[in-house]
Amino acid sequence: MAKHIFVTGGVVSSLGKGITAASMGHLLKARGYKVTMQKADPYLNVDPGTMSPFQHGEVFVTDDGHEGDLDLGHYERFIDESLSRESNFTAGAIYQSLITRERRGDYLGGTVQVIPHMTNAIKDRLTRIVEQSGADIVITEIGGTVGDIESLPFIEAARQFKMSKQHGDVLFVHVTLVPYIAAAHEVKTKPTQHSVKELRSIGVQPDFIVCRSDHEIEQGVREKIALFCDVKVDNVLSCVDETSIYKVPLNLHEQDFDTKVLDALGLEAKPIDISDWRDYNDKMDKLADKPVNIAIVGKYVSLPDAYLSIMEALIHASVFHGRKIQTHLIDGEQLVESELDKTLGIMDGILVPGGFGKRAFEGKITAINYARTNNIPFLGICLGLQAAVCEFARNVVGMKDATSGEFAEEIKEAGGGEIEFPVVDLMPQQEDIDNMGGTMRLGSYPCKVAEQTHAMAAYGEPVIYERHRHRYEVNNVFREKLCEAGLVVSGISPDERLVEMIELKDHPWFVACQGHPEFKSRPTRCHPLFRDFVGASITHCGS
Q: Annotated catalytic sites, by residue?
A: 382, 516, 518
Q: Which of 472, 509, 510, 519 binds ligand GLN (CB under 6 A)?
A: 472
249 part of the interface to ligand GLN, by CB under 6 A: no
Q: Which span (80-88, 332-340, 353-361, 427-435) binds ligand GLN, by CB under 6 A? A: 353-361
For residues 139 and 310, which CB has a smaller minimum distance to ligand GLN in the complex?
310
Q: Which of 306, 383, 399, 458 binds ligand GLN (CB under 6 A)?
A: 383
Closest approach of ligand GLN to the CB of residue 479, in Å: 17
b (16+ CB within 10 A) / e for 167-177: eeebbbbbbbb
Closest approach of ligand GLN to the CB of residue 469, in Å: 5
Do residues 195 and 10 make contact, with C-beta atoms less than 8 angstroms apart? yes
364 part of the interface to ligand GLN, by CB under 6 A: no
How many CB atoms are located within 10 Å of the residue 130 CB? 18
What does the alpha-carbon distance between residue 392 and residue 481 come to, in Å, rounded to a whole number? 11
Start-end of H helices in 308-441:
308-321, 340-343, 361-373, 383-392, 408-413
380 part of the interface to ligand GLN, by CB under 6 A: no
Query: If you count DSSP H runs as helices and E runs as strands, how many of each does the chain have, helices first?
Result: 19, 23
For residues 473 and 532, which CB has a smaller minimum distance to ligand GLN in the complex?
473
Do residues 502 and 387 make contact, with C-beta atoms less than 8 angstroms apart? no
For residues 67 and 76, which CB has a smaller minimum distance to ligand GLN in the complex?
67
For residues 174 and 364, which CB has a smaller minimum distance to ligand GLN in the complex?
364
| Closest residue to bound ligand GLN by CB | 354
Q: Which of 39, 125, 247, 469 binds ligand GLN (CB under 6 A)?
A: 469
Write the CA distances from 496 to 247, 446, 450, 467, 513, integer angstroms.
Answer: 43, 11, 12, 18, 15
Closest approach of ligand GLN to the CB of residue 24, in Å: 31
470 part of the interface to ligand GLN, by CB under 6 A: yes
b (16+ CB within 10 A) / e for 76-85: bbbbebebbb
How many residues touch ligand GLN under the rule CB under 6 A: the total is 10
Closest approach of ligand GLN to the CB of residue 482, in Å: 17
- What is the β-pairing status of strands 403-404 and 378-381? unpaired
Closest approach of ligand GLN to the CB of residue 202, in Å: 39
Using CB under 6 A as the criterion, what x/- string covers residues 64-103 for binding ligand GLN?
Answer: ----------------------------------------
Q: How far apart are the first and last CA of the chain?
A: 54
Could you give the 3-state DSSP secondary structure of residue 270?
coil
Q: Which span (173-181, 223-231, 352-360, 485-493) binds ligand GLN, by CB under 6 A? A: 352-360
Helix (H) or strand (E) holding 323: strand 323-331
515 part of the interface to ligand GLN, by CB under 6 A: no
CA angle 507, 513, 516 (to 5 degrees): 140
Closest approach of ligand GLN to the CB of residue 237, in Å: 38
- What is the β-pairing status of strands 67-68 and 170-177? unpaired
Site for ligand GLN in 402-441 (CB under 6 A): 406
| Residues of the shown chain interacting with ligand GLN in the complex, contacts defined by CB under 6 A | 354-356, 382-383, 406, 469-472
